[in-house]
Amino acid sequence: MQCAPFRAVFSIIDSTLREGEQFASAYFDTESKIKIAKALDRFGVDYIELTSPVASEQSRRDCETICKLGLKAKVLTHIRCTLEDARVAVETGVHGVNLLIGTSSQLMRHSHGKDMDYILQAVTEVVQYVKSKGVEVRFSGEDSFRSSLADLLGVYSLADRLGVDRVGIADTVGCASPRQVYRLVSTLRGVVGCDIEVHLHNDTGCAIANAYCAIEAGATHVDTSVLGLGERNGITSLGGLMARMVVEDRASVASRYRLHMLKDLELLVAEAVDVSVPFNNPVTGSSAFTHKAGIHAKAVLNNPSTYEVLDPADFGLTRHVHIASRLTGWNAIKARALQLNVHMTDTQYKECTGKVKAMADVRQLSSNDTDDIIRAFQHCEQDGQSSEHFIPAINRKVPVS
């Protein structure tokens, strides 16, 4: 069945410098915040969200500094829905503020202790204040998926009537399934006229799928962070969202975002928070474009689209055909042999493949081992030695790569 693509119309609010700062090992000094903000801007994210200026004196100064960088991306800060926070936020020079207050019974009872009437009053006052300062404003109900739907729709339609630029749905605890996200965004789409932002945690591994379903249902803005960094195990990752949306609408996504920069951006942030890029990360994981089984390798060598839904070249990356294993096939061995300038008959390539497989049954091979076997096999053939007496050149110790 062919998937029907849709036009991917969405904006990215990257929250590496807000949600990402809540990641366990994150510590961003001013210099690294500036570097990351500039890199995100060059990548092309539409918004950069910063930690609340009320969090600390340095957070406030950093917010001002980043606002003055003259980035193309709009700079937002994320604050509690109070006049005190809003006053400090608008003074920093941000383009917009993202307001938040818990709307689930858990958070109303155990976090801020306020009821719905208080929330409606706070939203009215704070939205009116921020708008009077000519600053963009979004209102979000924290823990939206565990909030009463009636409460949620009530507060969002109030915010819409007050003229917010966006309302936000937050899956704060990462409990939502793609279908629930689709349903809530569709319902909200029918209730408010303003834009809809989504913020989706990854506790059950659904953050990218949830973002995708939100866009399908009419969400206009998606919160991301580089590598998905955030509280606990984080939110929708920028790279994962890019991968998903490139599959849907390559032309539009590749024209809006500098996909070639993704790897360097991830390395920059990974280093800043002292983690490595996961081996199975979308796009940039070490094996994301590695093909191993003989059947896969053969087809990919004929036409990469057989087993690749993303083109590594779109991200400035290259594919790798892994030949050093018992799963390899003779087409892959032949392709590698030709790269090594080893020319033989197809029968010989097939025999040589048999040698590689036999050796891979004995121990794990490296690419160098396999190259050695191919070369040694050719010499053996040239010298007219029977392959019965073939002794692979890998008896010496070679590090397994």
Whether residue 283 contacts residue 208, with contact meaning beta carbons closer than 8 Å, is answered with no
Q: How far apart are CA 231 and CA 234, in angstroms?
A: 5
Whether residue 81 contacts residue 139, with contact meaning beta carbons closer than 8 Å, is answered with yes
The residue range among 54-62, 164-172, 181-189, 331-339 that interacts with ligand HCA, by the rule CB under 6 A, is 164-172
Binding mask 315-354 for ligand HCA (x = CB under 6 A): ----------------------------------------
> Out of Cu ion, ligand HCA, none, which partner does residue 49 contact, by CB within 5 to 8 A per kind?
none
Q: For ligand HCA, give the closer residue by CB, 229 or 270.
A: 229
Radius of gyration over every alpha carbon of the chain, rounded to an integer in angstroms = 27
Binding mask 107-126 for ligand HCA (x = CB under 6 A): --------------------
Residue 319: helix, strand or coil by DSSP? coil
**Among 174, 163, 222, 161, residue whose Cα is nearest residue 197:** 222
CB of 235 to Cu ion, least distance (A): 6
Binding mask 66-95 for ligand HCA (x = CB under 6 A): ------------x-----------------
Kindly list the distances between the CA atom of residue 288 and the CA atoms of 189, 214, 258, 292, 345, in Å, as whole numbers in the listed order. Answer: 36, 25, 19, 11, 32
Q: Which of 59, 140, 210, 378 binds ligand HCA (CB under 6 A)?
A: 140
CB of 230 to ligand HCA, least distance (A): 7
Q: How far apart are CA 200 and CA 211, in angstroms?
A: 7
Restricted to residues 15-54, the positions that interact with Cu ion (CB under 5 A) are 19
CB of 99 to Cu ion, least distance (A): 14
Q: How far apart are CA 252 and CA 389, in angstroms?
A: 58
**Among 197, 207, 196, residue whose Cα is nearest residue 240:** 207
The encoded tokens of residue 95 equal 């383009």
The backbone region for 232, taken as left when phi is positive above 0, alpha when psi lies in -120 to 50, beta otherwise, is left
How many positions of this chain bind ligand HCA (CB under 6 A)? Answer: 13
CB of 168 to ligand HCA, least distance (A): 4
Q: Which of 26, 170, 242, 332 binds ligand HCA (CB under 6 A)?
A: 170
CB of 41 to ligand HCA, least distance (A): 21
Q: For ligand HCA, give the closer residue by CB, 14 or 19.
A: 19
CB of 160 to Cu ion, least distance (A): 22
142 belongs to the binding site for ligand HCA (CB under 6 A): yes
Largest Cα separation within the chain, whole Å, is: 91
Q: Catalytic residue at 320?
A: no
CB of 170 to Cu ion, least distance (A): 6
Q: How far apart are CA 172 and CA 107, in angstroms?
A: 11
Catalytic residue among 221, 296, 320, 379: 296
Residue 246: helix, strand or coil by DSSP? helix
The encoded tokens of residue 248 equal 């849907």
The residue range among 128-136, 167-175, 203-211, 351-359 that interacts with ligand HCA, by the rule CB under 6 A, is 167-175
Q: How far apart are CA 63 and CA 92, in angstroms?
A: 6
**Among 188, 98, 112, 108, residue whose Cα is nearest residue 146:** 108
Residue type, 309: V
Q: Which of 125, 195, 216, 231 binds ligand HCA (CB under 6 A)?
A: 231
221 belongs to the binding site for ligand HCA (CB under 6 A): no
* Chain positions contacting Cu ion, by CB under 5 A: 19
So which residues are the catalytic ones? 296
* Chain positions contacting ligand HCA, by CB under 6 A: 19, 22, 78, 98, 100, 140, 142, 168, 170, 172, 199, 201, 231
